[in-house]
């Protein structure tokens, strides 16, 4: 793979579901396993890129040569990515960023029957990290994921335009055997310059390799 356009390029990949703290022992998260992000990191490193993985996941092996930055919340993930953005060539947002976080998060465990007793949780919106990068981007190539249950291509194309990204990887999460938290994936890849490309169901490492190849052809 030494002829890849990604050789010596600086690639940042986000992975996993963010954890939004309620208190010191409780949080809100989602089912993202991080497998797709880790597979992408491995494939990008293999293609010769300098890879940083910004991850909420602790139980997956970090691919050889990949720099790991661990974060928990969407706000931490945003800070980790934005502080590196100027130096990057490619950003792949494979993380499942929580759209909301608790309006306040307490540094101690909330006790039941105390003044903090928690029967209602007030949420506030998290920033859209990818859309923020889309606003700031100069030379960077931005890749987003879109999980949809209907009108896959239509919504993905809207996302491509609205978030100012260069490529959207759309997966149909209405099928239980692919996508979120499974070993396989099947995706449709959309860019501004090309007809959509369908990658049929396969193990995530194989899908990742093909995605990295496609990204390499576009930069």
As a whole number of Å, the CA-based R_g of the chain is 18
Q: Please, what is the minimum distance in Å from the beta carbon of residue 198 to ligand C5P?
A: 19
Residue 171 appears among annotated catalytic residues? no
Residues that bind ligand C5P (CB under 6 A): 74, 93, 95, 97, 99, 126, 128-130, 144-146, 159
- Characterize the bridge pairing of strands 141-148 and 123-125: unpaired
Q: Please, what is the minimum distance in Å from the beta carbon of residue 137 to ligand C5P?
A: 13
Q: Nearer Cβ to ligand C5P, position 95 or 152?
A: 95
Q: Point out the annotated binding site.
A: 99, 109, 127-130, 145, 159, 163
How far apart are alpha carbons 83 and 47 in whole angstroms? 25
Q: Point out the annotated binding site for CTP.
A: 99, 109, 127-130, 145, 159, 163
How far apart are alpha carbons 97 and 78 in whole angstroms? 10
Annotated catalytic residue, options 3, 30, 126, 181: 30
How far apart are alpha carbons 139 and 136 in whole angstroms? 10
Yes or no: say if 188 and 175 are a contact pair by the CB < 8 Å rule. no
Q: Please, what is the minimum distance in Å from the beta carbon of residue 110 to ligand C5P?
A: 25
Query: Count of CB atoms within 10 A of residue 107's CB?
Result: 7
Q: Nearer Cβ to ligand C5P, position 6 or 91?
A: 91
């Amino acid at each position: 793979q030494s002829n890849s356009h990604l050789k010596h390029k600086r690639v940042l990949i986000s992975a996993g579901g963010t954890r939004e703290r309620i208190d010191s022992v409780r949080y809100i998260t989602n089912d993202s396993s991080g497998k797709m992000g880790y597979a992408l990191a491995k494939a990008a490193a293999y293609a010769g890129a300098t890879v940083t993985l910004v991850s909420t996941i602790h139980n997956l092996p970090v691919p050889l040569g990949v720099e790991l930055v661990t974060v928990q919340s969407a706000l931490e993930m945003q800070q980790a990515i934005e502080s590196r953005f100027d130096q990057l060539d490619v950003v792949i947002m494979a993380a499942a960023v929580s759209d909301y976080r608790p309006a306040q998060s307490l540094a101690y465990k909330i006790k039941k029957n105390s003044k903090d007793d928690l029967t209602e949780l007030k949420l506030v919106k998290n920033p859209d990290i990818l859309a923020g990068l889309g606003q700031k981007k100069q030379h960077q190539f931005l890749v987003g994921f879109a999980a949809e249950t209907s009108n896959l291509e239509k919504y993905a194309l809207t996302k491509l335009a609205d978030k100012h990204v260069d490529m959207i990887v759309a997966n149909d999460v209405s099928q239980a055997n692919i996508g979120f938290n499974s070993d396989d994936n099947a995706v449709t890849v959309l860019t501004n310059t090309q007809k959509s490309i369908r990658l049929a169901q396969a193990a995530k490492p194989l899908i990742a390799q093909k995605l990295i190849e496609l990204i390499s052809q576009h930069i």
